[in-house]
Amino acid sequence: MDYDTIIGGSFRGCVLVCQNDAVVYEKAFGFADWPNQIPNTPTTRFATAWAGKVFVAAAILQLIEQGRLSLTDTIGDRLDIDLKQIDGSVTVEQLLTHTSGIPDYFDESVLDDYEALWADFPNYKIRTNRDLLPLFIDKPMSCPRGSRFQYNNSGYVMLALLLEHLTGQPFDRVLCEQIFIPCGMPDTGYFELDRLPARCANHYIRDQQCESWRTNIFSVDAKGTGAGGAYTTVGDIRRFWQGLLSGHLLSPAMTQDMLSRHSGEEDGYGYGIWLRQSPNGLIPYFQGSDPGVSFLSACDITRNLVVVLVSNYGDHVWRLFEDLFE
């Protein structure tokens, strides 16, 4: 396969393709720091937007396997939060599968621009999961629990709060100890935008009025939450797939359950992961999009093929996904 032709000359970010556990293509394009012309590299840390939900789901499933939680446990029984109009009988499984019906702080049927969230609520205040509660805790349920699939960021904030409540640690520390370290992912973490470590890319939005680029520092949460916001490298994502599929994180039965259809329309949704139908069966993938951020990683288990696509200019990784898995 001619990967350079598929990717084209306008993509900015990084692409990794692994076949049979060997890297067959790895290449970076564009700039991590546009004004200073510092290029992206395969070791650049990129933001991943909503994609971090897969890490939260894996950590929740670990707690279930340890007997510290169950899929049928409810948020009313398990969270020390005044839920107000939110139905306390929403279950852990309904949170995992986006069928909870709880109000979403970023409801894509109402808003199509994540940046618009911060018009009245400064994004620099969002540094923990609890910081997001004012954006949805006073709202009524969007639909009865279990009645339909609706992608829901608030549900994964609730799952991260569950992780914190049950472990007594910040959710990102739990993910580091339970997911990132076991998988050998040293470059992955949840970093504050005003305290980014080395090798983190800036993420750019095209300002059409000024005909120039601006960074997304006023457009996304100051630090990631259970809804998303992890920084990572393409190599670390490859190692996550290896850890997940080899049984380092979950038992074979629970891994299979995570990657099976539980909700959603068309191809469906597992636990923290999307599923696409192909001639070889269901292909699990996780994805994310924010202003200046686009990310997608998929694993065709039958062909032992892993692809990681990320752009710090919001380029169209979904087109590449279609071309690579057609």
pTM value > 0.95: yes
pLDDT number for residue 288: 97
pLDDT number for residue 302: 93
Structural domain that includes position 134: 3-324
Q: Does residue 206 come out as left (phi exceeding 0), alpha (psi in the -120 to 50 range) or beta?
A: beta
Collapse the DSSP code of 89 into the 3-class scheme (helix H, G, I; strand E, B; otherwise coil) and give the result.
coil
Give the CATH number for residue 253.
3.40.710.10
Backbone angles phi, psi at 9, to 5 degrees: -95, 0
The amino acid present at 209, given as its one-letter code, is Q
Residue 211's pLDDT band, with cuts at 50, 70 and 90, is confident
pLDDT number for residue 267: 85
Angle of helix 53-65 relative to helix 234-245, nearest 10 degrees, comes to 30
Summarize pLDDT for 239-272 with one digit per residue, the tens: 999 999 999 999 999 999 999 999 997 789 999 9
Judged against a pLDDT cut of 80, whether residue 159 lies above it is answered with yes
Q: How far apart are CA 94 and CA 178, in angstroms?
A: 23
Nearest Cα to Cα of residue 149 among 269, 230, 54? 269
Averaged over 14-18, what is the pLDDT? 98
- For residue 56, count other CB atoms closer than 10 A to its CB: 29
Averaged over 11-17, what is the pLDDT? 98
- For residue 4, count other CB atoms closer than 10 A to its CB: 11
Summarize pLDDT for 163-185 with one digit per residue, the tens: 999 999 999 999 999 999 999 99
Q: What is the DSSP letter of 276?
A: E
Tally of domains in the chain: 1
Summarize pLDDT for 101-150 with one digit per residue, the tens: 999 999 877 777 898 889 889 999 999 999 999 999 999 999 999 999 99
Mean pLDDT, the chain, rounded, equals 96
List of E strands, the chain: 13-19, 22-29, 31-33, 38-39, 46-47, 204-207, 212-215, 231-232, 274-278, 281-290, 293-300, 305-311
